[in-house]
A and B are shown apart, each in its own frame.
Chain A
Amino acid sequence: MLKRSNLLLLLMLSFVLVFAACSNKDEVAKEDPKTESPTEGSEEAKIDTTPVTYSYFNAATSLKDIDTNTTRIGKILEEKTGVNFKVEHLVGDMNTRIGVMVASGDYPDVIVPDAAIDTLLDAGALIPLNDLLEEHGPDLLAAYGDYIQHMTHEDGKIYYIPFGPTVNEYIPNPNIDQGAFWIQRGILKEAGFPEIKTLDQYFELIENYAKANPQIDGMNVIPYTGLTYDWRFFAFSNAPNHLAGYPNDGGVMIDMDTHEASVYADSEYAKRYLQKLNEINSKGLLDREMFVANYDEYLAKLTSGRVLGFFDYGWQWGQARDALRTAGNPEREFMALPIVFDENTKDQYLDPPAFTNNRGVGITVSAKNPERIIQFWNELIKEETQKLVMWGFEGEHYTVDANGRYYRTEEQLLLTEKQEEREALGMTYFEWSWPRINGSFSDGNAVEPRRQPEVALASYTEGDKEYLNAYGIETFAQLFSDPDDRPWYPAWSANMEQGSPQQIFNQQADELVRRYYPRLVLAASEAEFEAQWNDFTTDYRKLDVDAYEIFYTEVVKQRVRGEW
């Protein structure tokens, strides 16, 4: 093992050098591919470019099924490697689909199995990639350099390539796409842009506004709501964790010093959060349909502009946000606030740099000449291709200023927001579920345009700027504290064994929480609340909590030691 990792390290180092050399040269002589370094040149000479088509199945997203060479980026990659992928996306139930594949042994050449990855590993459907990577994937190894160990399984093999290792510098998102307490901006404006820090202040503001404005556009206001539908219930039950000053590690809080994991569903934090909501409910400020509405109804409510506040993860209500933005009334849009329980708690809503190693793309035993796939990926992960995937074509989709910073003009912003354009380019297909990087390019620009401050600033409307100025910030994320260093983050990406006690706990606890939380929030009196709380904690502690906590504590400690 030791020898192999040394070898890997050496290889990686040498290729990092080659890689860096290449990318520097690229900038000088972009038009002339012949000036590439000799190693690279001789490597490319070896590549067989006879056309070949592989099947590629993606269970993680649903897009149109296409051939990659029908997109502009895919075409370029095909010219370089001769490889084309017939991409198919999941329709229906993931586990069923993958189960059928496993049962029949009929696999696509390349697969992104999402959460069903263990099924494929158990079935021995994915081939180990170590030798292939060493031989044909120098740039892949270089890009994933720091994370190779995180990708390597206990038997020393790499079975799939996870997405998004952070390379160079981590660049936080200027806008909030993760958890936050959201508030309608008009409220802040009317109250004179106050600084809101605690849950009590937050609800006080909402209460006052709701009293003064019982109706918006002729509809009754909904002072506070939340998302509780089906598996999205976590958007409701995760809040106490954030209020206590922790990021989203899943069902547990990780102590920063001892690295002990502890569940928070029955903690004092959860009680405090539920008690507050109970109080809000008894004042008639809670959405009466909060626990009944499905996801569509929830989005429709947010879009109607009569919701004053809610807790949710930014990526879950993007549709509603876009709709509100298009409606063109900045006062009805929402602003994210880093709300905590106590004045002196440091909020940790922003994700620390994370690497999810239990998802990825693998090559199955059905694939002939798997080295061709690796060669394609290797071409894809190169910085120049990643720039195409993330940013598009220079001059057309982005512009470079005198300092080498990338930005987008207004037309370019509009163009790259268009779904048809993104599909024609291949952005939608290559930006995730394929080997790709996060962070920044070697020239300091953000890999993802949305994280590039120049792009974020250019996309801010006059309405946005009013609020940014009022709070003296440049981007909305600046209201939030910087993330602390959490080398294990996110704990929820740990692989749980099928049928293990912790997995069963997870399921049972989830059920209990879903059953009791609404009762607690809607309890008619304090006595009833206490009684329900006692019932809940008794039932909860009957489950195998220890197995769950020990599991996470061990995962975290391992990761802190560097063993992923």
Chain B
Amino acid sequence: MRPVQRPKGFKLFLHRCKEQRALLIMSLPFLIWLFIFRYVPLYGWTMAFQDFKPARPILEQTWAGFKHFEFLFSNPRFLEVMRNTIAMSFINLVLGFVTAIGLAILLNELRNLSFKRIVQTISYMPHFLSWVVAASIVSYALSMENGIVNIVLVNIGILSEPVLWLGKAEYFWGIIGASDVWKNVGWNSIIYLAAIAMIDTEQYEAAEMDGATRIQRIWYITLPAMKPVIIILLIMNMGYILDSGFEAQYLLMNPMNMDYAENLDIFVLRYGISMGNFSLATAAGIFKTVVSFIFLFSANYIAKRLGQARLF
């Protein structure tokens, strides 16, 4: 009896396609969507190399070479802007992860279900506020005259007199980080709670029988079980390292803290969009994409080398 010929190469591909045709057909609309909305617009990148004037056909545009990139990189503010962007992004990333994971674990340990629900609801409520509202709340809370932060800190004796929080440039990153945590911690913790919910309760029971303390149970069961989710999310977030947010910084920025508040998006808004210089805005967009690309792939590569969960 001749052994069954296993298809190879292209034949194998066709064979698989046939086998999974239902899946392929189902994914087709999304592929088309992806192409139209994610790849066709890439043609707009040509704008970065032109002195773009809206509504003129491409042949009427004047080509400017790398002029806009040069303007971007040679601007004396650029380095400062990059520093602010990366610093705020990094702070948000680290703080965001630690607090969301922390909250998820704490919530998981709660036995009183109704209390757990209340805490969860309250913690993710601010996520639904627009930054315009949230920034107002932050700004009032930090006010020198009757802001809650100053009142509390003075009354418990940490401060001797109120501090002008938004007027001290060096506090700005911290304020943004804290505001971001306040706004998003509940929301971000949802995905970790889901990951925790997947853990087999028998493991906890077994550990308890073996005399593991609460901390030990968290350390040896909950955290390892969450690890894949954490790493995947971390890798994905690396791709957004140059997106340190826009609204929060824009709304809380003032003349006294702008040295630390202005990030890449605000810079692009000021010199690109608001001056009608779409080419510069595009050049900055390309720069951001390239950097994100590098970060994303490096993170993925490192994860792969460490034998951890990875994106692709």
Residue numbers of A with Cβ under 8 A of B are: 95-96, 99, 102-103, 105, 116, 118-119, 122-125, 228-229, 233, 288-289, 291-292, 294, 296-297, 498-499, 503-504, 507, 511, 514-515, 517-518, 522
Contacts and interface: CB of A to CB of B under 8 A. Distances in A.
Closest 6 CB pairs of A and B: A123-B55, A102-B54, A498-B276, A102-B55, A514-B255, A292-B166
Nearest to A231: B274
B247 interface: no
B164 A498 contact: no
A382 B118 CA distance: 65
B276 A119 contact: yes
A54 B273 CA distance: 30
Nearest to A222: B145
22 contacts: A102-B54, A103-B54, A105-B55, A118-B276, A122-B54, A122-B55, A122-B56, A123-B56, A124-B55, A125-B55, A288-B144, A291-B256, A292-B254, A294-B136, A294-B251, A296-B136, A297-B143, A499-B277, A504-B271, A507-B275, A515-B258, A518-B255
Interface string B37-51: 000000000000001
B285 interface: no
Contacts of B256: 291-292, 518, 522
Nearest to B146: A219
A503 B55 contact: no
A291 B256 CA distance: 6
B243 interface: no
Contacts of A518: 255-256
A123 B271 contact: no
B51 A99 contact: no
Contacts of A96: 273
Contacts of B77: 511
A504 B74 CA distance: 14
Nearest to A99: B54
A498 B167 contact: no
Q: Which residue of B136, B145, B167, B251 has the most chain A CB atoms within 10 A of its CB atom? A: B145
B53 interface: yes
Contacts of A103: 54-55
Interface of B: 51, 53-56, 77, 136, 139-140, 143-145, 164, 166-167, 251, 254-256, 258-259, 270-271, 273-278
A93 to B, nearest CB: 8
B55 A291 contact: no
A123 B54 CA distance: 6
A237 to B, nearest CB: 10
A499 B255 contact: no
A123 B56 CA distance: 7
B255 A289 contact: no
A540 B273 CA distance: 24
B56 A517 contact: no
B273 to A, nearest CB: 6
Nearest to A522: B256
A95 B139 contact: no
Contacts of B273: 95-96
Given A102-B55, A499-B277, A507-B275, A233 B143 contact: no
Contacts of B258: 511, 514-515
A297 B139 contact: yes
Given A296-B136, A297-B139, A499 B164 contact: no
A499 B276 contact: yes
A199 to B, nearest CB: 22
A291 B143 contact: no
A99 B281 CA distance: 13
A499 B139 CA distance: 34
B54 A289 contact: no
Given A95-B274, A291-B254, A122 B53 contact: yes
Nearest to B262: A511
Contacts of A119: 54, 276
A233 B56 CA distance: 35
A291 B258 CA distance: 11
B301 to A, nearest CB: 37
Contact of A289 (B136, B144, B270): B144
B143 A289 contact: yes
Contact of B139 (A102, A125, A294): A294
Nearest to A93: B273
A503 B276 CA distance: 11
A498 B55 contact: no
A518 B258 CA distance: 11
B77 to A, nearest CB: 8
Given A122-B53, A122-B55, A229-B254, A292 B277 contact: no
Contacts of B271: 504, 507
B275 A499 contact: yes
Contacts of A125: 55
B164 A292 contact: yes
A122 B55 CA distance: 8
Contacts of B139: 294, 297
B275 A517 contact: no
Contacts of B270: 507, 511
A142 B128 CA distance: 55
A289 B277 CA distance: 34
